[in-house]
Structure 1
Amino acid sequence: MHHAKALLVDLAISCVLHYSTRALLKSNSSVFLLTQLWFVAGVKWVSLRCFLLSSWKEASVRRCVAVTCLMCPVYESGLTLLMNTQPEYWSGSLSCPGKTITSTAATLIACLFWEVSFPDTKRKAESPECAETKQRNRALFMRVVRYSKPDAPLLSGAFVFLALAVICDMCIPYYTGMVIDILGEHYQPNSFMSAIFLMGLLSLGSSLSSGLRGGLFMCTLSRLNRRVRLMLFSSLVNQEIGFFEDKKTGDLTSRLSVDTKLMSQSVAMNVNILLRSLIKSVGILYLMVSLSWKLTLVTFIEAPLIAITQKIYNTHYEQLSKEVQDSVARANETAGEAVAGVRTVRSFRMEPSEACRYDDRLTDTHNLKTQRDTVRAVYLLVRRLMSLGMQVLMLYYGRQLIKSGHMSTGNLVSFILYQGDLGTYIRTLVYMYSDMLNSVGAAAKVFEYLDRKPLVDMDGNLHPETLAGQVYFKNLTFSYPTRPDQPALKNFSLELKPGQMTALVGMSGGGKSTCVSLLERFYQPQQGQILLDGQPLQNYQHKYLHQKVAMVGQDPVLFSGSIRDNICYGLTDCDQTKVEDAAKEANAHDFISRLEKSYDSDVGERGCLLSGGQKQRIAIARALIRQPQILILDEVTSSLDTESERMVQDALARHPNQTLLVIAHRLKTIERADQIIVIDKGEVVEQGTHQELMEKKGNYYKLRERLFYEEKESDKEEVKQE
């Protein structure tokens, strides 16, 4: 509304000046007319400011008034400088009613473009959130730059070759125009051959410098990417176990692969392209001004139009591209669900329905891609039309300069070549700015993990030469990070004595595995502490603690590689004799020897080439070879046959001073335990030997009777199947 008022007032003032002051024209001097023209513009600006005083604080109103008042004097001044003409009237040739309406429409369009492309940023800048975001982005970018310090020699060489390539590139169009002038005037063979030789030399220098520049920048990118990935991986593997329970594997791998690459590009590739475009833009502008400053002023018409068009295009295209990616992800998710659950789909005869659902997802993706491609097509059309219009205008005005003797034909050709490159580099600068912001966003995600401190610290330094292995769980209260309102252990106390076997039994979810996880320092209890030989567990050195405490889980994880590599995992001084002795104690040596490559046999990914029992025996050997003072066995006999179970128990019996903690559902395997702890809902409900607990006929007795009944029924089913 205020913009319309400003335009109407300006139209009225212009008409009044046109009809009332036309007779006052006294001089035909261009300087006199332009001075009066700018004076009238000032009067109009003061009048409009007084008229719009109530809304003057709005930035859009001030912009509209400025464009409205300056349109006429800027236009007339440009005509005077470029075409050596003068205003028709002292109030300007645009002040006649018809031309005033045209200029008003142009003003309105200019204001519209201004508001859409460059909205009021002052108010946003005053916002604390916006200022904080800008400061954070700058800090992130400078931090990425600091990570590139080891590559300073390579970057310095790349910048040198960048400067050489830019200088060579900028000189080629100049000598192209010189050749045209030599051919168009009196032909001079020596001058012609010199110009051709210099053009060839510059082209060769440009090619070599560009290749070396790109190679050095790419080498820097690769080195930086490698360092960042290694630092991020090291930070991730040092996080507590609860961190991985809360994060998806795909999210972590995306940070390692995609975000680290984008982060590296922000320094190497993006800075390379940005500096090249910036230096070339400045150099080309200087050469264009030296060829013809008047023609350079004409080209300034295209620069803001290119910037505005590119900004609008980037905004819409990036938004549509993100929607396309999300749509593709939904389509892939639909296909993946149908393939993974193909048995369910087949059993319910839902094949046509799943096909229709997938078709709907593909249709959505197709429609979004069509919108995105349409936006790109319109942008390319507008850009080509602007370039074509600019070239026609330049050729027309260039012809006028040639006729007046202010410019040669060769200079015009050189100028046109420079002008085409200038538009390309301006578009690149606008694009690279937004791309660098995206790279900074990716760096923020990477630094979020790099800066994260593990909730379970590993800063202990205690590593005594001897360790008895006495463990005391003292009044522990613990809840998992993913379930903070559900305590897994409540005021839990337990003592593990050296040379004794302690068995934990109870229903699933009672807290048995939680005790093991806390003893392994996978988590930190919220209350209470675990004492090892009277010292808090967190005081021990991380490496020392896990040399003295070994665990074998129910579903052990093997890593791709040989059997020997898995048994020696984490050990540096491990000879073949120790490996074989540990395998014999775990009853694994016989089956390993029967393999084609024996201990060099590959276990496959996660041990997929071995059976469940074989994996467990290798995992037991991996624990026994360390000769730990505290050994934790979590359902390790569930996949073992009777003979293997007996041999493992005999091997454990040969270490009388070892502290042994066993978790098992098969109660026959723990009847010989020195103490049996029955855990239910995170609390100790019974404690004693097998005989003592059976005489009580409490929880342990009921649990044993129920498991015995289930095993008996299972045996009957096996007999029937046979």
Structure 2
Amino acid sequence: MELKLQHGKALLVDLAMSSVLHYSTKLFIKSSNTVFLLTHLWVVAAVKWICLRCFLLGSWNEATVRRCVAVTCLMCPVYESGLTLLMNTQPENWSGSLSCPGKTIASTAATLIACLFCEVNFPGTKSATNESSECAERKQRNRVLFMRVVRYSKPDAPLLSGAFVFLALAVICDMFIPFYTGKVIDILGEGYQANSFMSAIFLMGLLSLGSSLSSGLRGGLFMCTLSRLNKRVRLMLFNALVKQEIGFFEDKKTGDLTSRLSVDTKLMSQSVAMNVNILLRSLIKSVGILYLMLSLSWKLTLVTFIEAPLIAITQKIYNTHYEQLSKEVQDSVARANETAGEAVAGVRTVRSFRMELGETCRYDERLTDTHNLKTRRDTVRAVYLLVRRIMSLGMQFLMLYYGRQLIRSGHMSTGNLVSFILYQGDLGIYIRTLVYMYSDMLNSVGAAAKVFEYLDRKPLVSMDGSLHPDTLAGQVYFKNLTFFYPTRPDRPALKNFSLELKPGQMTALVGMSGGGKTTCVSLLEGFYQPQQGHILLDGQPLQNYQHKFLHKKVAMVGQDPVLFSGTIRDNIAYGLTDCDQKMVEDAAREANAHDFISRLEKRYDTDVGERGCLLAGGQKQRIAIARALIRQPQVLILDEVTSSLDTESERMVQDALASRPNQTLLVIAHRLKTIEKADQIVVIDKGEVVEQGTHQELMENKGNYYKLRERLFTEEKDAEEAKQ
């Protein structure tokens, strides 16, 4: 409030001072010398500035006040000096006083525009300074990111060089077309000369042909570069993602990752190929057109600069709001994609719970949010285009008015004015494009910051081991393990867990759901890194082994196996390069899958469909078992693999496993009948080993295993009675 009062007082002081100076000058100064009058105006401006500075001494530290006072004092001498220079008129001593209302109002409007321009581009308050500092830091980071994207484009240097050459040729040809258009008008308007007319027309046609050809080649090369870079970045990102630890994917949504692969990588590629193309073209054309405009009329060129601050203000405001809304739209699209992906992936669950309408409504809400954001974004753009159009029409009117004055005074021809107006219209477009594309280019690179974050992220579970011995016994030792899942850091999945798996023995893990059985398997597979303790394989820490070697010697078959789209042969031999047909068939026989595969029309060339949807649950299970057995692993993990198998298939799989006496076998089973022959049974509860021994020993102890077996037996009996 106090600052507003100061500003009001300053305005009254300025008006009073201006009026006094104006009338005193008319009384005591009678000279009509132009230099003397201009000098007087500048001296008066300096006196006003000193007086206002002294009056506003208390608030002089405000940058806004300083700028406003400076512009107010300088407006009159700058305006009269410019008018004298451009129009050769006598300067008038109005000094912003009320004696000349028209010029006073125009001066006030110009002052407001100038101050607004300064506030938008160079904020002076403390909070605005902090925001400006943060914006500058963000832009600096974006510049670093942009240079990194440029380095990714190094393999496309020959294509980019060719594109830049054709870009320069296209720009040169484009710039001279309006110039010869004006020449043609002058030839037609003065005395028609056939030779001059035909020469001008021929040059215009040649320039147009050169511009079209160069523009086409330039665009083709840039688009080729865009496609190559986009492919390269997507491949790098995908390779970085699949190398992350399993815990990384637990708190990352599929829609977010696919959005980075599809949307952000495209923005990264555009920042070099498309945006640099437009930015350089606009920059070169702006410089060239400005030079030609100065050669046609430097006075008219100075008038065109009136539009520059207005363009800068509107473009700055528009960019700020449009970029923010574009980011919100991008996030909203990712959420909508995520919702659709979840519904499609879990369509069986959706159908079983009759949630088709619910999922449709949920997806409709996401689409509605996206639509509303897009509407707001497009409204901002519509208002911006309207304001820009009004400014353009106003500038054209001013140009025509002043151009007419120059033609009447003989300083310019009609053809030159036409060429100048064509150049001026193009210059406004290119300046706006420069401001917008520079900001958009940095914004598109900034949107790729998440991509770089994923590219630079090192997996928490190391895969840099180099150990690959010629022989592996398969002795596994879980030594004092303590482990927390990344998504549940407050609840340990394993606590001081120790267990030994010996070669040639079958170890069974049993216990209630959530006890830690699957966690043991995940740690043994190297999916996670325990916070405390070690997993030793033949006495060596698991992370010391080579990634490829480890997962060939340690194989797992899950309860719900995942098959990939392709043939049965491809899925059995998945990850193996030196695998012939005989090895595939032998593994299928061991898993009791050869018979049903042989009955299929295309046998091993049968397509399993997406995630194996064309096969039954038991068939997928047997193919997954064959995929594990073909590797001849030394350590085999079976996680409830017999749940989908019939009795005959279960027996054949057990016989196949029994034929490998030196293999370390770890089994997780809820049907306790399948593990009665295990060499050791380990009961796990709340991440700890509570009981361990053979089936007979544990039954005699009548501890946790005995109680668990009795409970499951009662549940199975009740289920059979219910069926009857």
Q: Same fold (TM over 0.5)?
A: yes
Matched, 1:420 2:430: no
- What is residue 205 of structure 1 aligned with on the other side? 210
SS class of match (1:503): strand
1:395 positional shift: 1.2
Matched, 1:110 2:119: no
Identity %: 84
- What is residue 314 of structure 1 aligned with on the other side? 319
- What is residue 683 of structure 2 aligned with on the other side? 678
Structure 1: unaligned runs, 5 residues or longer: none
Q: Which of residues 296, 301, 306 is equivalent to 1:296?
A: 301
1:289 positional shift: 0.7
SS class of match (2:462): coil
- What is residue 171 of structure 1 aligned with on the other side? 176
Distance 2:194 2:104 in 1: 57
- What is residue 260 of structure 1 aligned with on the other side? 265
Distance 2:52 2:423 in 1: 41
Q: Which of residues 411, 418, 429 is equivalent to 1:406?
A: 411
Kindly provide the amino acid, as one letter, of the partner of residue 508 in structure 2.
Answer: A
Report matched runs for 1:138-177 at 5 Å: 138-177=143-182
Matched, 1:448 2:453: yes
Distance 1:121 1:455, change over 3 A: farther
Give the conservation status (yes or no) of the 8 Å contact 2:142–2:443: no
Q: Which of residues 568, 592, 598 is equivalent to 1:593?
A: 598
- What is residue 480 of structure 2 aligned with on the other side? 475
Report matched runs for 1:97-496 at 5 Å: 98-99=101-102, 101-103=104-106, 105-111=108-114, 113-114=116-117, 117-120=120-123, 129-130=134-135, 132-319=137-324, 374-496=379-501
- What is residue 17 of structure 1 aligned with on the other side? 21
1:640 positional shift: 0.3
Distance 1:507 1:93 in 2: 88
Kindly provide the amino acid, as one letter, of the partner of residue 561 in structure 1.
Answer: G
- What is residue 693 of structure 1 aligned with on the other side? 698
1:116 positional shift: 5.5
Q: TM-score, normalised by structure 2?
A: 0.93
Distance 1:635 1:335 in 2: 31
SS class of match (2:266): helix
1:403-454 Cα distance to aligned partner (Å, 9 max, x none): 1111111100000000111111122122212312321221211111111111
Greater shift in the superposed pair: 386-395 or 304-313? 304-313
Distance 1:417 1:7 in 2: 42
1:179-201 Cα distance to aligned partner (Å, 9 max, x none): 11111112111111111111011
Query: Aligned-residue CA RMSD in angstroms?
Result: 2.8
Give the conservation status (yes or no) of the 8 Å contact 1:55–1:61: yes
Distance 1:263 1:346, change over 3 A: closer
Greater shift in the superposed pair: 623-632 or 101-110? 101-110
Matched, 1:96 2:120: no
1:473 positional shift: 0.6
Distance 1:716 1:317, change over 3 A: same
SS class of match (2:272): coil
Distance 1:355 1:258 in 2: 24
1:138-161 Cα distance to aligned partner (Å, 9 max, x none): 211111111111111111111111
- What is residue 668 of structure 1 aligned with on the other side? 673
Distance 2:353 2:661 in 1: 57
Kindly provide the amino acid, as one letter, of the partner of residue 492 in structure 1.
Answer: F
Distance 1:36 1:15, change over 3 A: same
1:367 positional shift: 6.9
1:203 positional shift: 0.5
Distance 1:437 1:38 in 2: 43
Report matched runs for 1:695-710 at 5 Å: 695-710=700-715
Distance 2:568 2:685 in 1: 38
SS class of match (2:661): coil
Distance 1:297 1:275 in 2: 24
Distance 1:717 1:345, change over 3 A: closer
Give the conservation status (yes or no) of the 8 Å contact 1:7–1:104: no
- What is residue 85 of structure 1 aligned with on the other side? 89
Distance 1:325 1:439, change over 3 A: closer
Kindly provide the amino acid, as one letter, of the partner of residue 646 in structure 1.
Answer: R
Give the conservation status (yes or no) of the 8 Å contact 2:163–2:219: yes
1:326 positional shift: 7.2
SS class of match (1:632): strand
Report matched runs for 1:561-572 at 5 Å: 561-572=566-577
Give the conservation status (yes or no) of the 8 Å contact 2:561–2:621: yes
Q: Which of residues 496, 502, 505 is equivalent to 1:500?
A: 505
Kindly provide the amino acid, as one letter, of the partner of residue 567 in structure 1.
Answer: I
SS class of match (1:638): helix
Distance 1:114 1:332 in 2: 41
Give the conservation status (yes or no) of the 8 Å contact 2:516–2:685: yes
Distance 1:138 1:634 in 2: 50
Distance 2:574 2:360 in 1: 48
Give the conservation status (yes or no) of the 8 Å contact 1:76–1:92: no
Distance 1:505 1:328, change over 3 A: closer
1:33-85 Cα distance to aligned partner (Å, 9 max, x none): 21221222122222222222222222111110121011101110121111110
Kindly provide the amino acid, as one letter, of the partner of residue 105 in structure 1.
Answer: T
Distance 2:628 2:342 in 1: 39
Matched, 1:577 2:616: no
Q: TM-score, normalised by structure 1?
A: 0.93
Distance 1:409 1:93, change over 3 A: farther
- What is residue 618 of structure 1 aligned with on the other side? 623
Give the conservation status (yes or no) of the 8 Å contact 2:255–2:335: no
Distance 1:330 1:630, change over 3 A: closer
1:176 positional shift: 0.5
Report matched runs for 1:491-530 at 5 Å: 491-530=496-535
Give the conservation status (yes or no) of the 8 Å contact 2:256–2:338: no
Give the conservation status (yes or no) of the 8 Å contact 1:93–1:99: no
1:121 positional shift: 6.0
Kindly provide the amino acid, as one letter, of the partner of residue 607 in structure 1.
Answer: G
1:631 positional shift: 0.5
1:308-346 Cα distance to aligned partner (Å, 9 max, x none): 223333334455566677788899999999998988998
Distance 1:345 1:68, change over 3 A: farther
Kindly provide the amino acid, as one letter, of the partner of residue 19 in structure 1.
Answer: Y
Structure 2: unaligned runs, 5 residues or longer: none
Greater shift in the superposed pair: 442-451 or 322-331? 322-331
Kindly provide the amino acid, as one letter, of the partner of residue 685 in structure 1.
Answer: V
| Number of equivalent positions | 715
SS class of match (1:459): coil
Q: Which of residues 43, 53, 57 is equivalent to 1:53?
A: 57
Distance 2:343 2:660 in 1: 53
Give the conservation status (yes or no) of the 8 Å contact 1:11–1:101: no
Distance 2:194 2:480 in 1: 100
SS class of match (2:412): coil
Give the conservation status (yes or no) of the 8 Å contact 2:323–2:443: no
Give the conservation status (yes or no) of the 8 Å contact 2:15–2:96: no
SS class of match (2:496): strand
Distance 1:9 1:489 in 2: 79
Greater shift in the superposed pair: 64-73 or 39-48? 39-48
1:377 positional shift: 4.0
Distance 1:607 1:410 in 2: 74
Distance 2:225 2:361 in 1: 49
Distance 1:689 1:473, change over 3 A: same
Distance 2:226 2:410 in 1: 51
Kindly provide the amino acid, as one letter, of the partner of residue 44 in structure 1.
Answer: K
Kindly provide the amino acid, as one letter, of the partner of residue 15 in structure 2.
Answer: L
